[in-house]
Structure 1
Amino acid sequence: MSVTTALTAAALTGGLLIGGVAAPAFGAVHTASAPVADAATVSVGGEGRASAAPDMAVLTAAVEATKPTAKRALAAQSAAAEALLAAVRKQGIADRDVRTEGLSLNAVYQHTDRSSKLTGYQAGQSFSVKIRDMGRTGAVVEAVTHAAGDAARINGVTFDVADPAALRAGAREAAHADARAKAEQYARLSGRRLGRLVSLAETGSGVHRPLDVPGAAFDEGKVQVAPGEVRQEVTVTAVYELD
């Protein structure tokens, strides 16, 4: 029952409005206690963002070799991979920061209108290389391409933060503040005061947006990079009581 309806009912019956419920007139008989109305609440969504300069780069590179036989293709791919790994180590990259992401061996066919002819095999291996000194990103890219030669493939570079926890915490604080500000506004518009927080749910945590630079940016020796900023976004849903 709304407050207006309750007031009207109380006036018609001669009762009093106590806590939003009409009390019976003097002399009225009742056998059960009056029900307590549910507290009014407001539900709002909050959005928070936090940005920071990246402190590391992740290079995605690969080597590929195509030869008439599978054995020769694997041997050529292995030689190119060894050269790539030696080059990144020489650039000061620790072994723990280099990881094989994929390994493949595929048959290569020449297709015509009427048939397909096996012409050889292509062997490949892809790597991710963490570059913790971002100032050396260009030098590492150059070292990889020079060491592996025509077998080298640069797929791209991603700039990121090594520990995103602080960035995520900042986004959460911003999302919480945004939700509370909205709730306070709705309370004022309703002529109420904002009460206690009833519930809080994180509905969009970890929308992590590192900056990607495609491999095409490194064509023709173009290894200059612009790290920009890394962004974290968080969304929450909060429910507050209205007093």
Structure 2
Amino acid sequence: MPFSRRPVAAAVVSVLALGVPALAAAPAHALPIRPAAVPRLATAVPAPATVTVTGEGSASAPPDIAVVGAGVESFAKTSQSALDAQSTAAAALLAAVRAQGVAERDVQTRSVTLIPVHDSTDGVSRLTGYQAAQWFSVKVREVARTGAVLQAVTDAAGDAARIDSVVFDVSDPAPLQARAREAAHADARAKAEQYARLSGRRLGALVSLSEDASTYPRPVSPAGETSGAGIAAAPVAPGEIRAGATVTAVYELD
């Protein structure tokens, strides 16, 4: 008997006529649709307690150099005569300090001046002559010889000699300033530890550290200038050089 295709074709036509897809049914094990997840808000972590302190420190050292401000002045009726006298006195001054062991690199000319001098008696200005001057910076690297250098200057230049300053210093201030910073840091930590103990807490990590000031004061030079006569007879007192530092530190409290 021959196979008939009619029933199968009829079935397909019936399904299409009804508008129902042949495999449209959802499987029985399909998962239900879930709503979108809502993000959870992060819990704020409280900031750690801190203590802020200021530390101060200083360090001192004896000076190892002296800087002498020395010069010569001369007055004459003519400018050339004044310059000649000034040059002679300056040459004598330089020879004297070199004889005291001061190196060439430690002597520097600060200024050379030539100015007219007028007399204004009775309200009338009259030229009376010229004043010539030359000033030097003399670095003495053996502090104990400062007095001898002053004496040599006044002996060599006589009444033309002038001394306007003697300043003691240290040749390398960096180690002195470093010691002052170390002292300031230690002072800040000691204060912070005390405040932590008083608060019933333990000192935690260092949060920040800033330098507020670093000072390096030098002795003040004598005001004004002094003529050579008698200046070297006065003893010099080098004293000490002091550096200072101030820091602000913030520490956590555990």
- Select the structure of larger CA radius of gyration: 2
TM-score, length-scaled by structure 2: 0.77
CA shift, 1:168, in A, is 1.1
1:137 equivalent in structure 2: 146
1:52-201, aligned counterparts within 5 Å?
A: 52-201=61-210
2:252 equivalent in structure 1: 241
Runs of 4+ in 1 over 3 A off after TM superposition: 210-219
User: Is the CA contact 2:114–2:132 (under 8 Å) kept in the aligned structure 1?
Assistant: yes
2:239 equivalent in structure 1: 228
CA gap of 1:55–1:47, structure 2 versus 1, over 3 A, is: same
User: Is the CA contact 2:162–2:227 (under 8 Å) kept in the aligned structure 1?
Assistant: no
- Hey, what's the Cα distance between the residues in 1 that align with 2:91 and 2:233? 24
> RMSD of the TM alignment (CA)?
2.3
CA shift, 1:30, in A, is 9.2
TM-score, length-scaled by structure 1: 0.80
> Match of 1:109, as an amino acid?
H
- Hey, what's the Cα distance between the residues in 2 that align with 1:163 and 1:33? 56
Unaligned runs of 5+ in 1: 1-28
- Hey, what's the Cα distance between the residues in 2 that align with 1:233 and 1:67? 49
Out of 112-121 and 151-160, give the one that drifted further.
112-121
- Hey, what's the Cα distance between the residues in 1 that align with 2:56 and 2:107? 36
Q: Which has the higher strand share?
A: 1
> Match of 1:199, as an amino acid?
S
Q: How many residues align?
A: 215
Q: Percent identity among equivalent residues?
A: 61
User: Is the CA contact 2:177–2:243 (under 8 Å) kept in the aligned structure 1?
Assistant: yes
1:12 equivalent in structure 2: none
User: Is the CA contact 2:154–2:229 (under 8 Å) kept in the aligned structure 1?
Assistant: no
Out of 207-216 and 219-228, give the one that drifted further.
207-216
- Hey, what's the Cα distance between the residues in 2 that align with 1:216 and 1:150? 11
1:4-83, aligned counterparts within 5 Å?
A: 31-83=40-92
CA gap of 1:65–1:218, structure 2 versus 1, over 3 A, is: closer
After superposition, give the CA deviation of every residue in 1:193-239 in whole Å (9 maximum; x if it has no partner): 21211222222213233474666698624242222211111111212
* Helix, strand or coil at the partner of 1:33: coil
User: Is the CA contact 1:159–1:212 (under 8 Å) kept in the aligned structure 2?
Assistant: no
Unaligned runs of 5+ in 2: 1-37
Out of 99-108 and 175-184, give the one that drifted further.
99-108
CA gap of 1:134–1:207, structure 2 versus 1, over 3 A, is: closer
